[in-house]
A and B are shown apart, each in its own frame.
Chain A
Amino acid sequence: MDQFLAFTVVGLSTAAIYAVIGSGLVLTHTTAGVFNFAHGAAGMLAAFSYWQLAVGWEWPVPLALATVLLVLAPAFGLFVERVLMRPVQALGEAERLVMTVALLTGCIALARWVWDPNTARPLAPFFADRSAIRLGPASMTWHQAVTMAVAVAVAAALWFLLHRTRAGTEMRASVDDRALAGLTGADPLRAGRLAWTLGIQLAAVGGILIAPTVALDAQQLSLLIVSAYTAAVFGRLRSLPLTFLGAVVVGLLEAYLAGYLPRNDFLPGLRLAAPALLLLLALLAFPHRRLRGRDRRLVRVPLPTARGSLVFAGSVVLLAVVLVTVLTEDAIISYGAVFSLGVIALSFVPLAGFTGQISLCQLSIAGIGAVVWGHLGAHGELWALPVAVLIAAGVGALVALPALRLSGVYLALGTAAFAVILDRWVFTLPAFDVFGVRVTLFDQGSVPVTGPDLFGWHLTSPTQLLLLAAVLLALASLAVAALRRGRIGRRLIALRDSEAAFATLGGRLLGAKVAVFALSAGLAGLGGALYGMQLQTVTAEQFNLVAGLPIFLIAVIGGLGAVGTGLFAGLAFVVPTQLFAELGSWAHDLSTLLIALAGMGLAHSPAGVAPRMHAEWAKLARDRTLFRALLGVLALCWLLAATNAVNGGLALVAALVAALSLNARASARRQPAPDIPVEWWGLRRPWKPEDGEVLSRATAAS
C-alpha cells in the first residue's frame, strides 16, 4: 500500500506537468488552429535556457526563472506566431503541420548545436534542500508539491482568462471563426499572439519542471512530452478540463507501469514506449473532428509525361555513373546514400503527395526493410530483397488500419507515435518466436548488412551498391510516375479531395488506403534495405523518429507530389550533410538546422522546389541546339574529371556554370510576350486580326 501511495504521488506530480504542457497545446490549437508539434521542443529549449542561466552562468534561481518565463518564452512565442505561423495561416492544414515539424527539427538541432549532447547537465529539483512532506505512509518532495500547485494555479488562471476577460472572449471567438470574430470587433491577430505567448510559456513551465527528473537531452526531452500530447488528445484538443483529467490518467498509468510492470527482457522498452502507445490508443478511441476547414489553396499534383519520366530515370542512372567515375572510393561511400535515401523519400510521394496522408514513420518502416534484408539476405540471397519489401509493405498496411480513423494532423501524430513505439520498444526486443518462426530484429545492438548476389556477382563494393541503388531509384521513380498517370493515381487524388464523393461513387476507402500505405511502405522498405547495404551495419537509432523528420522535411521542400522529389531529397540531404561533416562534428547539427530553416521558408511554396526546377529547366530541354550544347559540355567536363585531367570540383563548377548560362540563354530565347489585359489590346500592343474572334468567343462562353 505504501508503495502504491508513493507511485500515486509520483504519478500525480508527473500528471501536473503534463496538464500544464497539455493546456498550452490546447490553447494554441483552439485559438490559432495549429497543432504545435514543436510544443515539447519549446519546453526543452526553455529547460536548456534555464540550465544555462541558473547553473551555467550561476544566476539566482528567481532571476533565471523570470528571464526564461517572462522574457525568452513570450519572445519565442511571438516569433513563432509572427514569422512562422501567420504566413501559413491562410494555407492548408498540411503547411501548418510542416511548419511545426520544421520547428521541432530546428529546435532539437539548435539545442544540440549550442549545448554539446555529450556533456551531462544535472538540474537540481526546486527546494531540494528541504526535507520531504510526510503524507501518512507516503512522502512528497517539495518539487512535487510545487509542480502540483503550479498545475492548480494554471487551471484557475486559464479559467479566469477565458471566461472572465475580454481577451479570453476574443480567444474563444477566434476558435469558431477568425474572420467572423474580426467582423464583430474582436482582434483575431491579438488573440493569436496571446495564445502563442501563453502556450509557449506553459510549455516552458512544464519543461523546467520536468527537466530535473530526467536527463537534459534535447531529443528525449522533446519526445518525453508525448504524454502531454496524449492528455491533450483526451481533451480532444479542445477541452481544458478533459486535458487535465487526461493528464492525471496518463501520469498515474505511467507511474504504475514503472512500478508494477514485471521485469524481463521484453518490457523495459514497453515502459519507454508506453506514452506513445497511449497516444495511439487515445487517438483511436476518442472521436475528433478534422481541424477547421479544408485546404483553402489546392496544391496541384504534377502530371509527368511518359517521355519526361524516362528522361528523368535515365538521368538518375547517368548521375550515378558520373559519380562513380569521378569520386574517390571514400567519397563514394559518403555520397552513396543519395539514391537509397532518395527511394525512402520517394515513398512519401504516393502517400502524402497523391493521397494527402502524412506519415512520419517512413524511416522506421525503412528500418524494418533494412533489418529484414540484413537477416534474410545475410549471404546476399536476392529473394530476400522482395521479401523485405513485402514485410515492410505488410507493416505499412497495418499502419493503414488506424489511419482509416485518422486524417491530417491526427494521422501525423498517430504515425509519429507508431515510430516511437517501433524505435523505443519493438526495435529493442530480443529475438522471439511467433508461431514457430524466429523473429530477430536489431538483436539489441547492430545487425551486419551485405549487398545482394546479382547474376553471379556479389555486390559489395561502394561503387556497385551506389549503382544498384541508383538503378532501383530510377525504376521506382518510373513506377511512381506511371502510377500518377494512370487509373490508380487519379483515384488516390480523388480520395484526397473528397472521401465522401469517392465513397458515394463506389470507391472502397479501406482498400485504397491500405493499398497506398502498403505501396509506400514497400518503397520505404526497399530504400531501407539499400541504405543498410551502404551502411554495412545498422542500428535502431539510425531509423528513429527524429532521424526521419529531416527526410520528411526535404521531401516537402522538394514537393510531395513530384516524382523528382526522391532524387532531390537524396541530394539535398546527403550533400550538405557530407560537406558540413568535413568541417567537423560540430557542424553536423548545423546541416539539420539549415534543413529545418529551409522547411520553414519553403512552407510558403507548397508545391515544392522540384516542380519549379522542372518548369525552369524545361525551356532548355526543349531547345534542341542549346540542349545538345549542354550535353556536349557535360560530357566534356565528365571526361576531363574521369581522366583526372582536371580536378573534380573544378569540373563540377564548370558544368554548373555552363548549365546555368545555357538555361539563361534558353529562357531569353523563349521569352513570352508580356501578358497585356484585354482592355488594353490595341493600345499597349497593336490590334491583331484574330483579337476580334478571341473576344467574341470569350463573350459567348461567359
Chain B
Amino acid sequence: MPLLRAEEVSVSFGGRRALDTVTVAAEAGRVTGLIGPNGAGKSTLFDVISGLRRPLTGRVLLDGHDITRESPARRARRGLFRTFQHLELFGRLTVRDNLLVAAELGPGRLQAARTADRVLDRLGLTDQADAPADALPTGVARLVEVARALVLEPKVLLLDEPAAGQDTEETGRFADLLRSLAAEGTAVLLVEHDMSLVMTVCDEVHVLDLGTVVASGPPARIRHDKTVLAAYLGEE
C-alpha cells in the first residue's frame, strides 16, 4: 500500500478545472516523479496534498489515514513536508535559523541545533549557514528549502522544482541525495522540469496535462508514451 495517495482529487478556479479526478500515489523508499507542462496542475496538487488548498472532491490518504480535512500543521506532524515552486524561505533569517525554526517545530527540539548543523553538512551548506536567506542564489536557496524540510525527517517529501537554477554538477549531487533519501525509506514526490533528473532518479512517473493524469508508469515507458509526447510537444 502506498504511503501517500491522492484519490480522485478535483480543484476548480472560478469555474475552470485545475485538477480533474487526479489520482497519484507515492510509496515509501521510492522517488515518484510528477511531470507535465506549465499549468498542468502539479503545484495545485501539491497544495492539496500539503493542506494549503481544499479539494472540491476527492481525498488524501497518508499511511492509511484520511487527512483531507486536516490542517497543514497536523499533516506536518504526521511527517508530510514540502518545498515550493516560488521560494518560501524565511528571508530575514540566516540559513541556519531557517533550519532551526523547522527543527524547533519538530519533536526533537532539544537537539535542534545539532540536527540543523548535521543537515547543513549533509547538503554542503555549512559555508552558507550564516548568510541571510534572501541573499542566496536561486539554486542554493532551493537547496536550503529542501534542507529545512529534511531536519524534520520527513516520511513523505514533496519537492516542487528543487533543481531549478542548479548546474549539471549540482543536479548530479542532488540526484544522489534523492536516492539516499529513498534508501532511508522516505517517499519522495518530485515535480521537476529537468527530464534527465526525473528519468534517472524516479522509480515511477505520473504525467499531468490540463489537470488530468495522462500517463503513469516507469520512466522508460513514459519516455516513449505517445500521449506524453503529445502533451509536451503538441499533436502533430
Q: Does A290 contact B (CB under 8 A)?
A: no
Q: Does B66 contact A (CB under 8 A)?
A: no
Q: A300-B132, A506-B152 are in contact. Are A497 and B82 (CB under 8 A)?
A: no
In the assembled complex, which residues on chain B have CB atoms less than 8 Å from the CB atom of A507? 73, 101, 105
Decide: A491 and B101 in contact? CB cutoff 8 A: yes
In the assembled complex, which residues on chain A have CB atoms less than 8 Å from the CB atom of B152? 505-506
Using a CB-CB cutoff of 8 Å, which residues 66-105 of chain B contact chain A?
71-73, 75-77, 81-82, 84, 88-93, 97-98, 100-102, 104-105
B46 to chain A, nearest CB (A): 10
Decide: B88 and A498 in contact? CB cutoff 8 A: yes
> CA separation between A300 and B51, bound complex, in Å?
30
In the assembled complex, which residues on chain B have CB atoms less than 8 Å from the CB atom of A509? 73
Q: Does A161 contact B (CB under 8 A)?
A: no
In the complex, what residue of chain A is closest to B135 when comparing beta carbons? A298
Q: Does B134 contact A (CB under 8 A)?
A: yes
Out of B72, B106, B109, B132, name the residue touching A504 (CB < 8 Å). Answer: B72
Give a binary string over A469-513; 1 marks a CB under 8 Å from any B CB, 0 the rest: 000000000000000000100110110111011111111110000
In the assembled complex, which residues on chain B have CB atoms less than 8 Å from the CB atom of A502? 90, 101
Using a CB-CB cutoff of 8 Å, which residues 442-462 of chain A contact chain B?
none
> CA separation between A299 and B148, bound complex, in Å?
22
Decide: B134 and A298 in contact? CB cutoff 8 A: yes
Q: Does A434 contact B (CB under 8 A)?
A: no
Q: A300-B92, A490-B97 are in contact. Are A501 and B84 (CB under 8 A)?
A: yes
> CA separation between A496 and B148, bound complex, in Å?
17
Out of B76, B88, B92, name the residue touching A493 (CB < 8 Å). Answer: B92
Using a CB-CB cutoff of 8 Å, which residues 125-184 of chain B contact chain A?
127, 132, 134, 145, 148-149, 152
> How many residues on B have C-beta within 8 angstroms of the other chain's C-beta atoms?
34
B39 to chain A, nearest CB (A): 19
In the assembled complex, which residues on chain B have CB atoms less than 8 Å from the CB atom of A500? 52, 72, 84, 88
Decide: B52 and A298 in contact? CB cutoff 8 A: no
Using a CB-CB cutoff of 8 Å, which residues 245-296 of chain A contact chain B?
none
Q: Does B50 contact A (CB under 8 A)?
A: yes
Decide: A504 and B104 in contact? CB cutoff 8 A: no
Decide: B89 and A501 in contact? CB cutoff 8 A: yes
> How many residues on A have C-beta within 8 angstroms of the other chain's C-beta atoms?
23
In the complex, what residue of chain B is closest to A294 when comparing beta carbons? B91
User: Which secondary structure dominates chain B's binding surface?
Assistant: helix
> CA separation between A298 and B87, bound complex, in Å?
14
Q: Which of A301, A500, A506 has the most CB of B within 10 A?
A: A506
> CA separation between A64 and B230, bound complex, in Å?
70
Q: A298-B91, A298-B134, A491-B104 are in contact. Are A504 and B97 (CB under 8 A)?
A: no
Q: A506-B73, A508-B73 are in contact. Are A487 and B104 (CB under 8 A)?
A: yes
Decide: B89 and A490 in contact? CB cutoff 8 A: no
In the assembled complex, which residues on chain A have CB atoms less than 8 Å from the CB atom of B148? 501, 505
Q: Does A701 contact B (CB under 8 A)?
A: yes
In the assembled complex, which residues on chain A have CB atoms less than 8 Å from the CB atom of B91? 298, 497
Q: A490-B100, A501-B84 are in contact. Are A506 and B134 (CB under 8 A)?
A: no
B104 to chain A, nearest CB (A): 5
> CA separation between A491 and B77, bound complex, in Å?
17
> CA separation between A504 and B81, bound complex, in Å?
6
Decide: A497 and B104 in contact? CB cutoff 8 A: no
Q: A490-B104, A504-B81 are in contact. Are A498 and B90 (CB under 8 A)?
A: yes
Out of A299, A487, A494, A701, name the residue touching B90 (CB < 8 Å). Answer: A494
In the complex, what residue of chain B is closest to A702 when comparing beta carbons? B137
B140 to chain A, nearest CB (A): 10
In the assembled complex, which residues on chain B have CB atoms less than 8 Å from the CB atom of A508? 73
Decide: B73 and A503 in contact? CB cutoff 8 A: yes
In the assembled complex, which residues on chain B have CB atoms less than 8 Å from the CB atom of A300? 92, 132
In the assembled complex, which residues on chain B have CB atoms less than 8 Å from the CB atom of A505? 76, 81, 101-102, 105, 148-149, 152
User: Which secondary structure dominates chain A's binding surface?
Assistant: helix
A254 to chain B, nearest CB (A): 34
In the assembled complex, which residues on chain A have CB atoms less than 8 Å from the CB atom of B51? 503-504
> CA separation between A201 and B224, bound complex, in Å?
65
In the assembled complex, which residues on chain B have CB atoms less than 8 Å from the CB atom of A493? 90, 92-93
> CA separation between A45 and B102, bound complex, in Å?
51
> CA separation between A300 and B81, bound complex, in Å?
27
Decide: B52 and A701 in contact? CB cutoff 8 A: no
> CA separation between A104 and B92, bound complex, in Å?
30
> CA separation between A502 and B145, bound complex, in Å?
12
B35 to chain A, nearest CB (A): 22
Q: A490-B100, A490-B104, A506-B77 are in contact. Are A497 and B90 (CB under 8 A)?
A: yes
B183 to chain A, nearest CB (A): 24
Q: A504-B51, A507-B73 are in contact. Are A498 and B104 (CB under 8 A)?
A: no
> CA separation between A497 and B148, bound complex, in Å?
14
In the complex, what residue of chain B is closest to A497 when comparing beta carbons? B90
A294 to chain B, nearest CB (A): 9
> CA separation between A509 and B73, bound complex, in Å?
9
> CA separation between A508 and B74, bound complex, in Å?
9
Decide: B93 and A497 in contact? CB cutoff 8 A: yes
In the assembled complex, which residues on chain A have CB atoms less than 8 Å from the CB atom of B149? 505
Q: Which of B50, B91, B98, B132 has the most CB of A within 10 A?
A: B91
> CA separation between A490 and B148, bound complex, in Å?
14
In the assembled complex, which residues on chain A have CB atoms less than 8 Å from the CB atom of B102? 505
In the complex, what residue of chain A is closest to B107 when comparing beta carbons? A506
> CA separation between A508 and B71, bound complex, in Å?
9
> CA separation between A497 and B81, bound complex, in Å?
18
Out of B89, B92, B106, name the residue touching A301 (CB < 8 Å). Answer: B92
Decide: A503 and B72 in contact? CB cutoff 8 A: yes
Decide: B89 and A504 in contact? CB cutoff 8 A: no
In the assembled complex, which residues on chain B have CB atoms less than 8 Å from the CB atom of A497? 89-93
Q: A298-B91, A494-B90, A498-B89 are in contact. Are A503 and B105 (CB under 8 A)?
A: no
> CA separation between A507 and B109, bound complex, in Å?
13
Decide: A490 and B76 in contact? CB cutoff 8 A: no
Q: A494-B101, A498-B88, A500-B84 are in contact. Are A506 and B106 (CB under 8 A)?
A: yes
Using a CB-CB cutoff of 8 Å, which residues 15-56 of chain B contact chain A?
50-52
In the complex, what residue of chain B is closest to A486 when comparing beta carbons? B104
Out of A298, A299, A496, A501, name the residue touching B88 (CB < 8 Å). Answer: A501
Decide: A490 and B101 in contact? CB cutoff 8 A: yes
Out of A496, A503, A506, name the residue touching B92 (CB < 8 Å). Answer: A496
A356 to chain B, nearest CB (A): 9
Q: A494-B90, A498-B90 are in contact. Are A504 and B105 (CB under 8 A)?
A: no
Instruction: Knowing that A491-B101, A494-B90 touch, tell me 14 more A-B residue pairs with CB under 8 angstroms.
Output: A299-B92, A490-B101, A490-B104, A493-B92, A494-B98, A498-B88, A498-B90, A500-B84, A500-B88, A501-B145, A502-B90, A503-B51, A505-B149, A701-B127
Q: Identify the 4 closest CB pairs spanning chains A and B, nearest first.
A: A506-B76, A501-B88, A498-B88, A503-B72
A-B contact pairs, 5 of them (CB 8 A): A494-B93, A503-B76, A505-B101, A505-B149, A506-B105
